[in-house]
Amino acid sequence: MFENPKRWHRRLGLYIFFAGALLGMFFTAMITWADFEASLFDAPTDSSALKLESLRCPVLLNGEEMGTVTATFENTADWALRRTIDTHISHGFVILMREERTRIDLQPGEKRTLQWTISPEDAAWGRFVLVRLHVQRIAPLPPRSGSCGVLVTNLPFGSGTQVTIAIIVISVLLIILGAILWLRGTEAQRKDLRTVDYLALALGPITLLALITSMLGNWFISAILLVLSVLIIVTIVTWVLS
């Protein structure tokens, strides 16, 4: 059916590999965009505010699904303290927000986790739910601030967690399967990998690393990796067309 099955296997591997890489890049770009917008949302005016590392948000909400935002607060002082947390959540628009002030009393060494409910109705532009927490200063503890963005979709199946897992698994499997077919096809044709081939293969781990960093909320690193991925694709396209 094919004049050169070995060559066809190599091409199929290329198509599968790039399909997985592009899927991973697109999903990473959306998550990174959400966290970037959240970093600008109600940004703290106190330059001494430290990052609220304990803030956790869902990556994605699908359909009418509700989500939960959590943050943990600890009293590291030797005496009881009252912490004041101001929570701001977008409400349909960037300039509109739900505001909530919470005060908690913490004994020395005590930890407490608070949670807030979000829904697709909170999404700015119908796309991202933006969350910002301000923790007021109380000696000896410094002020803290944290933000996160939640991607909102309207797919006809699955929860946000299920959709996220499915996209990641499909992307990883396509990258790995495509790379295997590509390399085996190249070996079967008794060809050596060119510099551009190594560059293209590097797109796989870079995309996976970008996915991981975006899932961890480090939008700056994932954005750099995405830019690097785009530069690699432009270089490959330029080489093919030249």
The pLDDT score that the predictor gives to residue 40 is 92
Spatial separation of the C-alpha atoms in residues 160 and 157, rounded to whole Å: 9
Q: Which amino acid is at 14?
A: L
Spatial separation of the C-alpha atoms in residues 10 and 43, rounded to whole Å: 49
Residue with the two structure tokens 């690097």: 228
Spatial separation of the C-alpha atoms in residues 163 and 226, rounded to whole Å: 21
| CB 153, CB 62: distance < 8 Å | yes
pTM: 0.88
Phi–psi pair at 138, nearest 5 degrees: -150, 120
pLDDT digits (tens, 9 = 90+) for 185-224: 777 766 777 788 888 899 999 999 999 999 998 999 999 9
Phi–psi pair at 61, nearest 5 degrees: -115, 135
Residue 93 has pLDDT above 60, yes or no: yes
Q: Which of 78, 77, 64 shows the shortest CA–CA distance to 118?
A: 64
CATH class of 42-153: mainly beta
Domain locations along the chain: 5-35+161-241, 42-153
Q: Which of 24, 27, 118 shows the shortest CA–CA distance to 68?
A: 118
pLDDT digits (tens, 9 = 90+) for 98-129: 999 999 999 999 999 999 999 999 999 889 99
pLDDT digits (tens, 9 = 90+) for 16-62: 999 999 999 999 999 999 999 999 998 888 888 999 999 999 999 99
